Chain A
Amino acid sequence: MALVALAAALLLLAWILVVRLRGRRRAERIARQEETWRRAMHEAMERPVEERLPPIADGDLPEFLMLWNRLQETQRGPAAENMSQLLRDNGLDKRAMALLRSGSVRSRLIAMSTLGFVGAEEAWPELEAIAGSSSAMLSFAAARALLRIEPRRALDALTLSIVQRNDWSVARLGCMFTELGPALVTPSLTTMLVSRPRAGLDRVVKLARFGERSRVAPIMRGWLSSSDNPDIIMAALEYVDDERELPWAKGAATHAEWRVRMAAAKALGRIGAASELNTLLDLLRDPVWWVRYHAAQALTRLHGMTPDELRLIREKARDSFAADMLAHALAEMPIRKIKFI
């Protein structure tokens, strides 16, 4: 058995050496070509480049495309278009398509990113099929490519997945929505919000911030009168910032769920109505720290409220928790650059 173990260990050693030597040779080959690739790409960013790139071997294509993607990620406008043209002129968009169909997972991810940047409409059917697949990694990359190729059509096609696929991270979707901009994503977002899906509503609510506030806010505020779900009320209160909506914020300040009371305190702070001083003083005595914290923060934002007045309120406070929190809020006023939850 010892001999078998030794033989297996030596076999692994041989494997390591083969991997190492092949990797080295490949890295050296790529390094030699990278200079030429990089130069061509930088030139392409400046102006359209007509000359052809030196031939790229199939094995080196993913590395070339990876470099292209890295540079393309930061480009906008004509520079980005020239970079895409460089690929098309050299037939590399077609080779990326081939890579999408037959490559490894890594190569397919690189191919999808490339096809998205280059706006390859011919890849749409394949990408759409992958976007519906069960692999979170591949489906998300495909969705990203679709959104880059034709955003409106992609948003329509992907609405259900965006709402329901828990394996698509909301934060990553947020990055895509930021890239697309509020004007593009608002119609889809409002459709999702209006339909108020049972599954995935929390995801849609989080994404709502990437839409145009003027169109999203009325829908969200409408929920205040039509829902008793604490999560929905809390989300809707995020859009309350006008004195006309004061009754909603005031009503929520006595809600049984502490997260709703916290959202109410934040809303009262945004509205800043001095008439709500007593509501906030009540919240300042709340048993939950976060409610007290946001009530104190809201107090500092009330119209006409001065630090001296706050100090006076603090001195008069009978509740030590409330007094401590006011002292905290007062000290935090000069450093309010930090946004806490």
Chain B
Amino acid sequence: MSYVVSAIEWFFLAYFVLFNAGYISLNLMALPTLRRKIALRPVEDLPAVYSGLEPPVSLLVPVRNAQAGIEASVRSLLQLDYPQYEVVVIDDGSDDGTLATLQRAFELEAFPEAMWRRLPSKEVRAVFQSSTHPNLRVVDKLRGGKADALNVGINASRYPLFCAVEAASILQRDSLRRVIEPFLDDPAAIASGATVRITNGCTVANGRLERVALPRNALALLQIVEYLRAFLFGRLGWANVNAVLIISGAFGVFRKDVVVEAGGYRAASASEDMELLVRLHRLLRARGQRYSIHFVPDPICWMEAPETLAGLSTQRIQWQQGLAESLHRNRELFVMASGGAQRWLALPFFLIFECYGPLFEVAGYVLMTAMWAAGLIPGAALAAFLALAFTLGFLLSMTALLLEELSFRMYPRLSQLAALVGTAIIENLGYRQLVAVLRLIGLVRWMRGKAI
């Protein structure tokens, strides 16, 4: 019995050490890219000059019942600093006044679009062309979900690159230019994603970010540190070995021909953006095609994070279902001889720490506490386990804060830094455990095949 208890104790200790060490390594892997970014800043900060050879881009904006903010969002997208782009808004069967608002605001007129239906989708009811903005079209379609709307957008788009944008995203004027840059420098680029920053607490006017600040809402503040740790520097680390498995649906650019050849977005997916990217890895690896997927760390896309427990729960449960589904649907990548860094590093990492991680995390806390309560382990052992879990978590968050300090420093005031450090401590005392439980619920739901 004591052997079993000891084995359990050591297993969970090892798991927590490996989990945090993995993320700290990812943060360190992000360093070369950040250094390059900092070095290049003098050149990037000079006024933009275009040659006309920049690839034109179709911005695809799927919307549903977004009447309140759609006009400001589209106006902001129409003011991006990029030489040639079009905006295609896809109204996914809204039953509020989204379409009417767009028609009024942009003087839309019915357009006899001869659409190239390369991807299957729900029926398109009508296509409208703006008479005030020649580069704006709106597609009215039957409800089919975000993935279906994006597929319609791909069918309607005219340019070789498309950029999936969420209407609620707040973009900088140079966002498109920055996210396209990898396509200028790397002929093998097939996708480029941007980091998503949190707008809660910031001042936003007319679809533009005017002032960056920290939110008063504790849940949003906790997510800021979490985003830095897991979604910014973590993904940047994976980008260095061409193993980015997630490009946020909020703002990501893809080469259209590659996506069409892969069959477009999967309509029934919980996380269509991740599923598409993992599928692209699998198909292109199988074909032996040279390709690269880039991640742009600059703060160019901002989104509102959930401020209520209910909102956070829905989001995290859905993300976890999407993650599990994407990995298992493309499991051939695990055994491919040409799997590269995805096979040997990213997929095992995602499978063990991201997909099944919540299971180990929650089980670790529950079993260790139960063993102590049953008198199987001494209080000192439980205390040592918890202390290790908390201090490693704190260390991980501090590496992310250091990288932020060395690179973007979006929160320049000392009081903001103090708030972030405080949050990095507090998040280990409940928030990380809460997120682990939510993710576990998502995992269980996926295992039981529950509807998304």
Contacts and interface: CB of A to CB of B under 8 A. Distances in A.
Contact of B46 (A70, A137, A166, A341): A70
Interface in B383-417: 384, 387-388, 390-392, 394-395, 398-399, 401-402, 405-406, 409, 414, 417
A66 interface: yes
A289 B116 contact: yes
A19 B84 contact: no
A106 B50 CA distance: 23
Given A66-B42, A109-B42, A324-B114, A340 B158 contact: yes
A183 interface: no
Contacts of B289: none
Contact of B184 (A15, A171, A328): A171
Contacts of A174: 51-53
A335 interface: yes
Nearest to A6: B391
A154 B249 CA distance: 44
Interface string A62-100: 100010011001100000000000000000000000000
A6 B20 CA distance: 13
Contacts of A175: 49-51
A106 to B, nearest CB: 4
A338 B84 CA distance: 9
A341 B160 contact: yes
A256 interface: no
A331 B113 CA distance: 9
Contacts of B46: 69-70, 73, 113
A12 B402 CA distance: 7
A62 B390 CA distance: 42
A327 B395 contact: no
A2 B134 contact: no
Nearest to B40: A137
B27 to A, nearest CB: 11
A199 interface: no
A19 B407 CA distance: 11
Given A104-B39, A106-B39, A172-B184, A1 B17 contact: yes
Nearest to B109: A331
B395 A12 contact: yes
B216 interface: no
Interface range for B: 35 or more
Contacts of A321: 114
B135 to A, nearest CB: 6
A140 to B, nearest CB: 9
Given A169-B185, A325-B114, A331-B111, A1 B47 contact: no
A169 B414 CA distance: 40
Contacts of B86: 338
Contacts of B53: 170-171, 174, 206
B345 interface: no
Contacts of A57: none
A178 B39 contact: no
Interface in B51-89: 51-54, 56, 84, 86
A111 to B, nearest CB: 10
B125 interface: no
B17 to A, nearest CB: 7
Contacts of A110: 42
Contacts of A23: 409
A3 B394 CA distance: 12
Contacts of A337: 134
A13 B51 contact: no
A66 B41 CA distance: 10
A64 to B, nearest CB: 12
A9 interface: yes
A106 B41 contact: yes
B419 interface: no
Contacts of A73: 46-47
A175 to B, nearest CB: 4
Given A137-B40, A175-B50, A331 B129 contact: yes
Interface in A99-132: 104-106, 109-110, 113
Contacts of B402: 12, 15-16, 19
A169 B184 contact: yes
Nearest to A4: B391
Given A62-B42, A171-B184, A209-B52, 4 more contacts: A2-B390, A5-B391, A206-B53, A341-B160
7 contacts: A1-B388, A2-B391, A2-B392, A3-B391, A69-B46, A175-B51, A335-B129
